[in-house]
Amino acid sequence: MTNFIYQEQKWQSQMSDLITSPTELLELLNLSEQDLLSGALLASEQFKLRVPRAFVSKMQIGNPLDPLLLQVLPHHLELEEHIEFITDPLGEEQANQLPGVLHKYQSRFLLTLTGACAIHCRYCFRRHFPYQENLPKNDDWLNIRDYLLSKPHINEVILSGGDPLTLSNRKLALWLERLESLNQIQILRIHSRVPVTISERLDEALVSLLKNSRLRIILVVHSNHPAELDDLTCRRLANLVQQDILVLNQSVLLKGVNDSAEILAELSHRLFQARVMPYYLHVLDKVKGAQHFDLEANKIDQIYTEVLATLPGYLVPKLVREIAGEQNKTPLYGVTIF
């Protein structure tokens, strides 16, 4: 069935009009199953539903197994306890050096400037992260600057979150100016789901801000399924690349969403049409509440083997897992790391 009609709005308006009610979401999609609703209401008490209307407009009406819906609809299985699935699977509490600072890797430094997201992905590895205790205030910049200056081998800053593109252009410009003032910083990487969920966020002011920076800008977007990439989203992403901004994509391998070589190959081709390069394919982080998205090791190996056989090398994302305490992402294909 066709999707419901969505009227394009400015990104700020979309951010203030997110769907947060499971009842409203299921009504928009003509889904009336009581079990679906009761499970969603229960699970949303622990991790709220949050999804832009533009993203919902890409879902299939009447399909409870729509791959985009499965990523955002709270599910009763999130409430089950599994010993391997914990609140901090990546050991970020230990890496949290200062408010807003996560330092895991030698040359890269991660700033969480906000806990806000335009969308709550049900597999989010930071769904339990204590954002309110960690958000940097203006006065914290001096401590962050001193920390960076004390580690001259750091040459890249990663803006993460939450989602940094939920911030205003004015606030982003402030942090960009601060980072540009440090000669050691050469690269700014922005990790964001917003360009895929609210493509209007890539407005002229943001593009101008990024393309005129002295820093080399890399935008890492997050798309898991080709249905997320409509023509408007692809055009806006391609425009960034035309402005000399490198755009990469990372995905998470999710049961029921993209667990087939055919879907992953279609995603890579669709990204390439938007001039976006596939970057990482993450094995699911074992975060509490996401266990129903997990896949067995042999299934993952089978899927990735088929992807390698299907796609040219430049369109194959690197299959990786992040392991707490390790100095880099761990490549998985061909190694017994599972």
Beta bridge partners of 14: none
* The pLDDT of residue 57: 97
Q: Mean pLDDT in the chain?
A: 92
Question: What was the pLDDT predicted at 105?
Answer: 83
pLDDT at 335 over 60: no
Q: What is the pLDDT of residues 1-31, one digit of tens each?
A: 556 555 567 999 999 999 999 999 999 999 9
Across the range 168-174, mean pLDDT stands at: 96
Higher confidence at residue 241 or residue 6?
Answer: 241
Asked if residue 204 has pLDDT above 50, the reply is yes
Rg (CA), the chain: 19
The mean per-residue pLDDT over the stretch 275-295 comes to 96
Q: 104 or 286: whose pLDDT is higher? A: 286
**pLDDT tens digits, 82-123:** 999 999 888 777 777 788 888 888 899 899 999 899 999 999
pLDDT the model gives residue 98: 85
**Residue 331 to residues 95, 227, 256, 321, Cα–Cα distance (Å):** 21, 27, 23, 7
Would you kindly state where each structural domain of the chain is located, as residue ranges? 11-79, 92-331
Phi, psi (degrees; rounded to nearest 5) at 70? -60, -25
* DSSP bridge pairs for 250: 222, 280
CA distance 43 to 27: 18
What does pTM read for this prediction?
0.93
What are the C-alpha distances in Å from 338 to residues 9, 90, 173, 274, 333? 44, 16, 42, 33, 10
Give the model's confidence band at 336: pLDDT under 50 very low, under 70 low, under 90 confident, else very high: very low
Encode burial over 54-71: b for 16+ CB neighbours within 10 A, e otherwise: bbbbbbbeeeeebbbbbb
pLDDT value for 163: 96
For range 216-224, the mean pLDDT = 98
Distance in angstroms (rounded) separating the CA atoms of residues 194 and 11:
10
Which homologous superfamily does the CATH classification assign to the domain defined by 92-331?
Answer: Aldolase class I (3.20.20.70)
